Structures are given as C-alpha cells and as structure tokens.
C-alpha cells in the first residue's frame, strides 16, 4: 500500500523575524493544511529550508509536526543528505519522532555513481523500518538516477517503495514505469506535471502549490482518481500561471512570499535565500488574484 495517494504538501518552515523556527505558526499551517484536504505532510524538504537547519532544529520540526498531526494524515520526513551517516542519523530520529515515511534526496555535490547511490540508499533503508521515497531532482543535486537504479532499489529493498520525480524527463519516467511492473510508487515533484504523471500510473504529487492552494491541488488528483481525467487536466491547466510564478525565483522564495501575501506570516528566509524581487512579487500577486486565492 502506498504511503499516501493524492496531494502531499512540501510544507514551508515558518521563522520568526529573528530567524528562529516559529512553532506556533507551524502548528497553524499544519491545521490549515489538514482542514484544506491535504493528503500528507512532507516536513523538512527543500521547501522547508532543511538545508539551513541544524540537526537539532531538523529533528525538532519533524517531532513537532508528528505531534500536531497526530496520525490524522501521513507525515513524511525529509532526511536526505550527501553524507550517508548523517542521512542514517536523521532517518532514525525521524522514525523515533513518529514519521510515517521518509523522503531521501540523492546525495549531492560528492554525487556518487549509480553503484554508490544504491549503496547509500540500501544503508539508510537498513537503518529504519518505515517506508522510503527516493527523491530524484537532478536540477538541484547534479545527480541523475537511471530508471534501472530506481526500479532495482524499489524491487530489492523492502522499505524503498517509490520515488518523487522532479527530473521532468517524461521518457525516462515512462521507461521506469514500464520496467517497474507496479513496484514503484510514483509521485510528481513538479506542480505543472501532476496530471501527466498520474496518467503514467502516479499515486499523487509532493507539492509546493499545496502550501497556498491545498484543496485545489488535492482536487487535481481526486478528479483523476475519480475517473474524470478531463476535469483533472482542466484543474491542472488552470493552475499553470500560478505555478509558473511560484517558481519564477528559486523555491521556496516565491511560496513564502505568497503565504505572506495571504497573511500567513511565515516570516523571512534564511540566507543564502533572500526576499523576492518587488517586480516578481507584483506578478505573483496578480497570478494569485487570477487563481482566486488573493
């Protein structure tokens, strides 16, 4: 059984003006997401600015998220690292904190061969018992996993169950799904490609868009699962202008700006991320108004 089906939100981490994690605001965001129909919470992913968190902050945000959600929907913790020992440590702590699953980005910078990637993932998987999603995002990591690598890991490692695909390479994804014969749970990692990947057998999306439009993102998936792919496509296409603006600067700069425009007060970003350019804020606000969320 898949960890979840539908729209999981890659949740932002709210900060105070002094740059500390704002736990009361995080609680508010989690409650709003659950009320809005989000199907899963992804904590401490790229959108959550995990790369600028200390280990203690990282684990505490996951722990707090699990406590607030309290089993109402699955919590998937981002625990990837380019250091295998660090990924193992974070993964074990996330399991102790109550996470239902893990999201593990490919090791970046030091990279690794396909053999090295498989050894890395096997080592992390052996350290925990909860299910794991691989995270394939070559544009950020500089690492490409081949379809063969992904399928081999999902077929041979019992608790590696699927992949968040953000490569945008439809041909490679189609090849992977052909090879998988049902052993890979596929999730879109790109908000402009939800319906196409559902058509390839996907289980849903791990979404930035869901931060500002949880119900609408959920409905893209549910329309497809409910037997109305035409409606799913209509909802997908309607979201394209907003999705484009949510990625006009590096994520999560625009989505935090969008939430602040909506009055959510998610606070500043941590360097090296900086506040959104004023001209981009204007086009983002216009897209939000057109979409009906501002």
- Active-site pick, 25, 121, 135, 187: 135
Handedness of CA 52, 58, 64, 69 (dihedral sign): positive
- Active-site pick, 23, 25, 115, 164: 164
Asked if 135 is an active-site residue, the reply is yes
Asked if 25 is an active-site residue, the reply is no
Question: Phi-psi region for residue 62, left (φ > 0), alpha (ψ -120 to 50) or beta?
Answer: alpha
Q: Report the distance separating Cα 91 and Cα 130, nearest Å.
A: 9
Report how far apart the first and last C-alpha atoms of the chain are (Å, whole number): 37
Q: Parallel, antiparallel, or unpaired for β 204-207 and 132-136? A: unpaired
Q: Are 18 and 218 in contact (CB under 8 A)?
A: no
Q: Report the distance separating Cα 34 and Cα 215, nearest Å.
A: 10
Catalytic positions, written as ranges:
135, 164
């Amino acid at each position: 059984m898949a960890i979840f089906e539908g729209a999981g939100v890659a949740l932002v981490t709210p900060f105070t003006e002094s740059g500390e994690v704002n736990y009361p605001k995080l609680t508010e965001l989690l409650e709003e997401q659950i009320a809005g129909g989000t199907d899963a919470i992804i904590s401490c992913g790229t959108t959550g600015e995990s790369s600028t968190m200390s280990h203690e902050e990282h684990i505490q945000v996951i722990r707090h998220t699990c406590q607030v959600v309290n089993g109402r929907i699955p919590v998937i913790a981002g625990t990837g690292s380019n250091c295998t020992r660090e990924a193992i440590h974070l993964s074990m702590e996330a399991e102790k904190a109550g996470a239902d699953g893990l999201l593990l980005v490919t090791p970046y910078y030091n990279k690794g061969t396909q053999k090295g990637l498989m050894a890395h993932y096997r080592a992390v998987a052996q350290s925990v018992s909860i299910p794991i999603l691989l995270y394939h995002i070559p544009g950020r990591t500089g690492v490409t996993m081949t379809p063969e690598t992904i399928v081999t890991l999902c077929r041979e490692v019992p608790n590696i169950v699927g992949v968040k695909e953000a490569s945008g390479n439809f041909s490679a994804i189609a090849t992977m799904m052909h090879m998988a014969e049902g052993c890979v749970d596929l999730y879109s990692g790109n908000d402009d490609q939800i319906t196409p990947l559902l058509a390839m057998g996907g289980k849903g999306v791990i979404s930035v868009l869901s931060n500002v439009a949880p119900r609408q993102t959920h409905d893209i998936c549910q329309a497809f699962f409910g037997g109305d792919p035409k409606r799913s496509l209509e909802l997908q296409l309607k979201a394209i202008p907003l999705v484009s603006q949510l990625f006009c600067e590096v994520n999560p700069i625009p989505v935090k700006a969008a939430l602040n425009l909506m009055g959510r007060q998610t606070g500043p970003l941590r360097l090296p991320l900086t506040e959104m350019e004023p001209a981009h804020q204007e086009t983002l606000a216009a897209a939000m108004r057109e979409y009906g969320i501002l």
